[in-house]
Amino acid sequence: MKETLTFDDILLIPKYSEIKSRSEISLQISIPKAAQLSLPIISSPMDTVTESDMVVAMAIAGGLGVIHRYNTIDEQEKIVSMARKILPSDASIAAAIGVSGDFVNRAEALYDAGADVLCVDIAHGHHILMKEALKALRDSLGNSVHLMAGNVATLEGFNDLADWGADSIRVGVGGGSICSTRVMTGHGVPTLQSVIDCAKSDRSALLIADGGIKQTGDVVKAIAAGADLVMLGSMLAGTDEAPGETFYVDGIKSKSYRGMASAAAQIDWRGHVASEEGVSHRVSVKGPVIKTLEGIEKALRSGMSYSGAINLSTFQAGSNIIRITQASLVESKPHILQG
Ligand code: IMP
């Protein structure tokens, strides 16, 4: 039986470095058919993470926000148009669509409104419906739109989606902080392992690590393991730009963060619960998202300097990953109070 690893199972070995200032490090990444990013971070297409404020803030910070699809075509199109008015003409705007019903109409409306990245967003992306959807989208919109697709957990899935026309692929099944897919269905692969496996692909599609990235060190590890980009839900939830009202729980100012397959989210967007594979939770409010993104950027630059890597591709190609024991994991976190 294959042994698999996730973020807390590994560390990166520090390497000889000639980087004298972290500002020398480039975090730039080219996105085919879209704008270059200066921060390899994407916000999740979830109704408690990415609507208008988040998509604008992500673009201003150099990353990318994916507007969720749990609304009417009109509502989603308005968010894209509004973002297009605010953002500089060369910034990319990404919006999510599904694979059934009126998804081609939705894609056309979003594309016409100014979205240049469309994210085909389903839980089990290695699926014939994904293959058919990617074909229908290419037939309708041609080759100039960037198609992001997912999620997949395996190299086979990654290669198939790339061959079906995806320009970037979300990798990770069952690892999200609000996800109960593994509990409910027994399926999934630890996210880091999926990244390691999919990074072996010879296809040119970009690899997006998605689900279970809970701290800045995990962002660094995901890229070292071969991710080109990292998608974040919980790390961005609770910021000022995340949609939703604030409320107090035990005196703590909070916002809701919920899986899109949670009962609460499904009832809101489709009126009934199909398969419940997510949970709804509260998170403490965090202030402006730029503060969180700056923290991630600093940690990524610092992490890359520990590996002596001047840019993202050198970092992916040259980092040394080791497996650690449970005792090492204890040592890896502040542990002064445990002595
Ligand atoms: P997080 O960054 O660990 O919070 O995970 C966010 C990711 O979880 C998203 O980008 C999706 O891939 C995934 N996700 C969102 N909603 C659900 C759900 O209800 N069930 C399972 N996975 C979900």
CB atoms within 10 A of CB 127: 16
- The rounded Å distance from CA 212 to ligand 1 centre is 8
Catalytic residue among 48, 50, 119, 181: 181
pLDDT for the residue numbered 337 = 73
Q: Are 15 and 318 in contact (CB under 8 A)?
A: yes
Q: What pLDDT shows up at residue 338?
A: 60
CA of 183 to the centre of ligand 1 (A): 14
Catalytic residue list contains 48 = no
Nearest atom in ligand 1 to the alpha carbon of residue 231 is 10
Cis peptide before 151 (omega within 30 of 0): yes
- Taking the centre of ligand 1 as the mean of its atom positions, its distance from the CA of residue 209, in whole angstroms, is 11
DSSP 3-state assignment of 103? helix
Contact 15, 314 (CB under 8 A): no
246 DSSP 8-state letter: -
* Centroid of ligand 1 to alpha carbon of 231 (angstroms): 10
- C-alpha to C-alpha distance for 222 and 299, rounded to whole angstroms: 13
In 3D, which of 296, 216, 225, 212 has the Cα closest to residue 39?
Answer: 296
Rounded CA-CA distance 114/220 in Å is 32
Task: Tell me the two tokens of residue 100.
Answer: 């059934």
| Residue of the CA atom closest to atom 22 of ligand 1 | 179
Residues of the chain with pLDDT under 70: 338-339
55's enclosing H/E stretch is helix 52-60
Crossing angle of helices 103-113/128-141, nearest 10°? 40
Residue-wise pLDDT for 259-291, tens only, equals: 999 999 999 999 999 999 999 999 999 999 999
Amino acid in position 201: S
Q: Does the global pTM surpass 0.95?
A: yes
pLDDT at 94: 98
Is 119 among the catalytic positions? no
Name every protein residue with a CB atom under 6 angstroms from any ligand 1 atom. 44, 46, 151, 176-179, 181, 210-213, 231-234, 259-262, 277-278
The pLDDT of residue 179 is 95
CA-closest residue to ligand 1 atom 10? 44
Question: What distance in Å separates the CA atoms of residue 337 and residue 200, rounded to the nearest whole number?
Answer: 41
> Tokens at residue 184, please?
């409910």
Specify the pLDDT at position 102: 97
Please return the burial class of 55, using the count of CB atoms within 10 Å of its CB with bins 0-12, 13-18 and 19+: buried
User: Which amino acid does the sequence have at 195?
Assistant: V
